[in-house]
């Protein structure tokens, strides 16, 4: 069993040449911000045995998919 959480927006999207880097610590395309947010999300997801991935299209927005396994007792 697993749990999947999907978060989407209708923003500008992420350029294909930048999408691979969004989970890198300190990587940002914004004038303000630390570039740590998505790196922390990825770290925490992996800490619990999960994963996170992004799908994005310029002009149409982005979708982040978090996937967590459910441990059965």
pLDDT one digit per residue (tens) for the chain, 73 residues: 999 999 999 999 999 999 999 999 999 988 999 999 999 999 999 999 999 999 999 999 999 999 999 988 7
Nearest to 37 by CA among 68, 69, 64, 60: 64
pLDDT of residue 30: 87
Alpha helices (H) in 3-63, listed in sequence order: 16-19, 37-47
Residue for token digits 């969004």? 22
Helix and strand totals (H; E) in the chain: 2, 3
Whole-model pTM: value is 0.88
pLDDT of residue 14: 95
């Amino acid at each position: 069993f697993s749990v999947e959480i999907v978060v989407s927006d209708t923003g500008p999207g992420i350029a294909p040449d930048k999408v691979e880097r969004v989970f890198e610590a300190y990587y940002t395309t914004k004038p303000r911000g630390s570039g740590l947010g998505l790196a922390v999300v990825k770290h925490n997801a992996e800490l619990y045995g999960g994963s996170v991935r992004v799908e994005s299209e310029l002009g149409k927005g982005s979708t982040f998919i978090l996937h967590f396994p459910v441990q059965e007792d």
